[in-house]
Structures are given as structure tokens and as C-alpha cells.
Amino acid sequence: MNNDLFGFEINVWADAAARLGLIVGLMTVVVMGLIYGERKIIARFQQRLGPTRTGPAGLLQSVADALKLVAKEDVRPRSADPWVFELAPYFVFVPIFLMFVAIPFALRWEIRVLELGLFYVLAVSSVNIVGWVMAGWGSDNRYAMLGALRAAAQAISYELPLVMSLISVGIVADSFNLTEIVRSQGQVPNIVWQPLPFFLFFVAILAELNRTPFDIPVGESEVVGGPFVEYSGIRWSMFFLAEYAALFILALLGAAVFLGGWAWPLGEEWGLGWQLVLTALKAGALIFAVFWVRVTMPRLRIDQLMAFSWKVLLPISFVQVLANGLVLVYEPPQHIANILLAAVSGAGLLLVVWIMNHSVGKPRPRPVLSPRAATAPTATRSEAAR
């Protein structure tokens, strides 16, 4: 039983092993690069330099950090539940890596082409919340417990807008196969006619990744790191690795589903190198946007976050799914379908922006300037007071 790996005939098991090895190796390097990139980018936003000392331009900083984390003592609180505490990192780490199976980097560059690839990615991605709750419960720490419960509530809430936004794209593309979805947007990427699902997707991945403004489960100033507060050394670094791997994967997913993946605008004829460059650029733009939001936004509160998901994002995403369903069922001509989608999407997006301006952030009058005359002391009184 042989398989085709990048043009070579190879035994099916060796093929699987080679692909998984490639992915694990790639991930480690990519995560280190992401951490370095994040530190540099955030430093620039904050008028700092970021790491400069370790290696040329601080390039080896992530390596040094990784070495430090591996060398650190792996501490477990005495009152922690040993099994739950020790196993929790794996429950976070493994589902994230399983997501990679269906993610395409370029044409025919994925581990396995799955007909229900989108479905598979969504299904696997929500498993890691079990690990978060295990970490929170097993640590026997109240901050960790609070953080884990917040994480569970948040993950369940934002899973729905995420699924809805991806389903609406899948409906139009007529397939849940990621390669097919990319191919379907050869001329125009989905973001053009359906900006609303893209916005929902972006907000939802911020929540899935526990990034600002949704970093409520790990909020440094409130629950001091949340479920990870008791972890150290290699176990903590597994959580960290999983977090950045998830960021990378979801950015790749967004690039493939909304931004045209490797196909747009060059088309599929261009070589593998160009395809990889396109994917990297699009995923990089998404990752940059995540970093950008992180440095400029304050954190929402848990009830506001839930309300925003259930009362705003979810109903609006239903409207989008409805419009896409109409297109699927009645099959109007292409340009009419596009206009319908764009109209619904645009209206929904404007509605979200309006809600954010007027309901989430309540407008307030500026404070009163008390003019001089109103507060100047009267002579008799100030004399009397002495």
C-alpha cells in the first residue's frame, strides 16, 4: 500500500510518519518564530525594542526561553490532584495538533484531504477546553478554578459564532473540504462578498485563543494566569506551545477559508513556492491583526463577553446563514447571489459596529468644568473659616 508524498511513491505508514514528523518539527520552529515575532511587534507598538541581546537582533531569544523552561523544576502543589494536574497539558496540546491533519498549506500540501475537513477542525478544536478545566480543577487553586470556569463558559459561547461563520462559507462553496473551499474562491476571496462571517470568525478566534480583549480566563490583573497559575517548567511550556500552535492553525484556517488561501490572486498554476508565500502572507496578516488587537484593547468582563456572543454575534450569524441558505436553495445567477450576500453581510457588519459603539461602549458626556466664579470662595466665608 503506497501513497503519494509530494510526488514520491512511499509506503503508507512511512508517509504518515513523515508527514507527522514534518508537522511537529515545523510547529516547534513556527511557534518559536511567532513568539519572537510577537515580542518584536508588540515592542514596536510600545516604542520599545524587544529582545536584542540573544543572537543577532535577539533571534535566539525564543531558544533561550525554551531552554530555560525545559530546565526549570516541574512543581506540583501538594494539594493538587496528581493525575488531573499532570494530564491536563496533554488534553490541551494533543487536540491542537490533531487540527493540523486537515489544514492545507498549499495545493496537495496537507496531511490528509478530508471531505469534512472544516467539520473535523471545528470538532477537534473544542476538545482542548477539557484540558483547561482539568488544569483549573486539578491545581486546587481558586484563581485557577475561576479561570477554568471562565474558559469553559467562554469556549462554549464562542464556539457557536465560529461554527456559524464557517458554515455560512461552506454553504456557498458547496463543500466542507478545505481544498474545495480554497478552489471555489479562485477569482474573488470570500471576504469580499461575505465580510460579516470573516468578522465573526476573527472575533471568535480571539475568544478561542483567549487573546485580548477576551483573555478573561487568563487575565493577568484578575486571576493571575488563570488555570496555569500553578504550572511551571515543561508543563507550562506545553500550554504555551499549544496556545501559539492554535494561533497559527486558526490563522491558516482563516487564510484558506476567507482570504483565498494559496489560490487568490495568482491562481493555482503558479508553483509551490508562490503558493506557500501567499499562504504565509495571509496567515501572517491575520496573526499580526491578533497581536495588534492585543496591544490596544482592554479586557472585557465575563458577562459582557457572554452577552456579546449570545445577544449580538449569534443572531447576526443566523441571518447570514439564512441568506447563504437562500442562495444554496434557489441558485440565483452569480451576480445576484453575490449582491444578496454582500448586502446582508454589510448590513450585519454595520449593525455590529453600531452596537459596539452605542451599547457595548456606552457614550458618556465629558465631565463638567466648574467655572471659576462658581467655586471661588466668598471673602466673608473664607475669612470666617480662619
Residues making contact with another protein (CB under 8 A): 42, 45-48, 142-143, 145-146, 150, 212-213, 215-216, 219-224, 294-304, 356-357, 360-372, 374-377, 381-386
Instruction: Tell me the chain's radius of gyration from C-alpha atoms.
Output: 25
The nearest distance, CB 146 to another protein, in angstroms, is: 7
The nearest distance, CB 207 to another protein, in angstroms, is: 13
- Cα dist. 69→93, 216, 234 in Å? 16, 24, 6
The nearest distance, CB 16 to another protein, in angstroms, is: 40
Cell of 258: 476567507
d(CA 286, CA 346): 20
The answer to whether the beta carbons of residues 204 and 285 sit under 8 Å apart is no
Closest to another protein by CB, 1 vs 374, is 374
The nearest distance, CB 302 to another protein, in angstroms, is: 6
Closest to another protein by CB, 297 vs 326, is 297
Cell of 217: 480566563
**Residues whose CB is less than 8 angstroms from the CB of residue 51 and which lie 6 or more positions away in sequence, other chains included:** 36, 39, 40, 43, 58, 61
The nearest distance, CB 359 to another protein, in angstroms, is: 9
* Neighbour tally for 16: CB within 10 Å: 15
Closest to another protein by CB, 74 vs 220, is 220
Estimate the crossing angle of helix 142-173 against helix 314-330, to 10 degrees.
Answer: 20
The answer to whether the beta carbons of residues 133 and 151 sit under 8 Å apart is yes
Closest to another protein by CB, 16 vs 42, is 42
The nearest distance, CB 368 to another protein, in angstroms, is: 5
The nearest distance, CB 136 to another protein, in angstroms, is: 13
The answer to whether the beta carbons of residues 86 and 235 sit under 8 Å apart is yes
Closest to another protein by CB, 146 vs 181, is 146
Closest to another protein by CB, 112 vs 142, is 142
DSSP state letters, 74-136? ----TTS-HHHHHHHHHHHHHHHHHGGGG--SBTTBSS---TTHHHHHHHHHTTHHHHHHHHH
Closest to another protein by CB, 93 vs 240, is 240
- Cα dist. 156→97, 126, 153 in Å? 20, 8, 5
Closest to another protein by CB, 156 vs 339, is 156
56: DSSP letter: G
The nearest distance, CB 211 to another protein, in angstroms, is: 10
